[in-house]
Chain A
Amino acid sequence: MLGRLERRYDVVVVGGGPAGLGAALGAKEAGAESVLVLDREPEPGGILLQCIHSGFGLHYYKEELTGPEYAERFLTRVMEHDLDVVPDSYVSGVAIDSDGSKRVRVMHERQGLHTVECRSVVLAMGCRERTRGALRIPGTRPSGIFTAGLAQKFVNMMGYLPGRRVAILGSGDIGLIMARRLTLEGCEVMGVFEIMPYSNGLTRNVVQCLDDFGIPLHLSTTVVAIHGRDRVEKVTVAPVDRSLRVDMSRAWDVPCDTLLLSIGLIPENELSQGLGIMLDTITSGPRVSSTMETSMPGLFACGNVLHVHDLVDFVTRESLLAGRFAGEWARDIRRPRDNIRLAPGENVRYCVPHTLSPEREHTIYLRCKEPVKPCILRVGDLTEKKLRFVVPAEMIMMTLKPDALERFHGDTLRVDIVPSKSAGGDPGDEK
């Protein structure tokens, strides 16, 4: 179909979503001769295939596309190259030999247990969703509790609805998008409940997914119990205070037969953990150098497995880079070691990559802890960028040029986001 499963490759990419496909393209463009992409679904494209709404490609293609459109366009470009993309395959492990070569163990229906030898590996396994257990919502265990992504897969790909009357916990974009999606399919969305005092998703989505349909958004509210013997019958919700403590005296019941959980994504790092790769406890993904290389030489990471993204355009950019360096590695091209550590400072939750080197341009990705407007993003005292508004839900990207880095003589570069006064001494500061 899309390729064979041979015995030896220069680069093996684990995961055929946008990150994996980007890495494959990057590797080919860097001159890798043989590249293999493995994906456990029946076709590549990853999560994009079920994200049927638009909002993808504004940066990369300068066009607003739906997820499937982005996936198809990108896959077509990737397939112009000579490489193997093998779906329906599962990577059960990666081993590293003493000479540095890698062995990837694959399970594939036709070829059974198959081991692929390669020079470099790119980890692009994406992420999984947090489940009820992560919140320990008490109550019964009826059917009708879904993570939002699983519900999305049922609706958009398998053609089934998760239920009739739906409550949604978590106002991140996926929860908001599903509120609209289910409404369009005739379900009744009882409300979206969000434990924080602000929605975690884009304002655009709150307006177009909730306000447009009269779906209430209950901030500072969470689900405190699930009821129902065989199937969900109702959930109890209650307000929380600023310390996120529940006020049970004001709890109320929401009748529903379905509860969707949109409570967070976690990079899928079982494979990485098995290899003993160093992980960043904040991102839950591997620590990487500026070549997107993990602590294991020749093992690279990109996409949601590295840190959870919100824009596929950034994933593509990041993964092209990872693929490029993985491709170079396979051709025995080695970059000088990074000698600058990047440290998250004020109001910065994390930065990726974790280290830099002054010899080339870098793109760093970061997230803030708290919303601030307007503000300044400072990288040491080398450079800064004015930003109108930052929110934790929107990843910030910044380019660092070599001439800026060359001026740096320390070993740790701190990245800070600090509030700035509004421009021009405007008396309307309290706005």
Chain B
Amino acid sequence: MTERREFVCIGCPIGCPLQLTHEGTTIVEVEGHECGRGAKYARQEFVDPRRALSTTVAIRGARWIRLPVKVSRPVPKEKVLEVARLIHQLRVEAPVSVGQVLLRDLLGEPGVEVVATRSMPRLD
């Protein structure tokens, strides 16, 4: 049985409306894109939609009480809020360097890490 999913491509400002036809988990066709990026995006969104995530964590001993962080690779879209809650449990002590890994193997995925996106020296 063919079903249809609709997406809006986020590859460029046009935002082509995309239609992806599939039978179960098999992609039949992608339509509506004006370039290759659209087709690729639709497939990814269908198979394994992922999102980049940045947030802040509590830090002590620095000028500010929040340290901005990001996840090194996009996480599954439906897990975004859960991942945020996990990250918010972190408590960090200054000093921290930009790129420093604060949490490894997020959600059990190797290579998916929480890293600091700036340095914060210790200011006691």
Contacts and interface: CB of A to CB of B under 8 A. Distances in A.
A167 B77 CA distance: 24
B81 A184 contact: yes
Contacts of A71: 118
B46 to A, nearest CB: 14
Contact of B54 (A66, A158, A206): A66
Interface in B1-43: 8-10, 12-15, 34
What size tier do the contact residues of chain A reach? 35 or more
Given A54-B52, A159-B56, A203-B8, 16 more contacts: A52-B117, A54-B54, A69-B118, A73-B98, A156-B66, A158-B66, A159-B65, A181-B55, A183-B81, A203-B10, A206-B8, A207-B10, A208-B10, A212-B51, A389-B14, A391-B13
28 contacts: A52-B68, A53-B54, A54-B52, A54-B54, A54-B70, A66-B54, A73-B98, A156-B56, A156-B66, A158-B64, A159-B56, A159-B58, A181-B55, A183-B81, A184-B81, A184-B84, A185-B88, A202-B10, A202-B13, A203-B8, A203-B10, A203-B13, A204-B10, A206-B8, A207-B8, A208-B10, A208-B51, A390-B13
A205 B58 CA distance: 26
Nearest to A394: B13
A159 B66 contact: yes
B68 A66 contact: yes
A327 B58 CA distance: 41
B80 interface: yes
A185 B87 CA distance: 11
Pick the 6 closest A-B CB pairs, nearest first.
A203-B15, A204-B10, A68-B118, A52-B68, A184-B84, A66-B117
Contact of B70 (A66, A181, A204, A212): A66
B63 interface: yes
A389 B54 contact: no
Of B51, B68, B81, B98, chain A has the most CB atoms within 10 Å of the CB of B68
Interface of B: 8-10, 12-15, 34, 51-56, 58, 63-66, 68, 70, 77, 80-81, 84, 88, 98, 117-119
Q: Is the interface of A mostly helix, strand, loop or mixed?
A: helix
Interface of A: 42-43, 49, 52-54, 65-69, 71-73, 155-159, 181, 183-185, 202-204, 206-208, 211-212, 373, 388-391, 394
Nearest to B98: A72
Contact of A157 (B51, B64, B84): B64
B81 to A, nearest CB: 7
A71 B68 CA distance: 13
B14 A212 contact: no
Contacts of A206: 8
Nearest to B70: A66
B111 to A, nearest CB: 17
Of B54, B70, B119, chain A has the most CB atoms within 10 Å of the CB of B54
A390 B12 CA distance: 11
Contacts of B13: 202-203, 389-391, 394
Contacts of A67: 68
Contacts of B15: 203
A245 B71 CA distance: 44
A157 B118 contact: no
Given A43-B63, A159-B66, A212-B77, A69 B117 contact: yes
Contacts of A66: 54, 68, 70, 117
Contacts of B52: 54
B92 to A, nearest CB: 13
B116 to A, nearest CB: 9
Nearest to A181: B55
A185 B54 CA distance: 11
B63 A52 contact: no
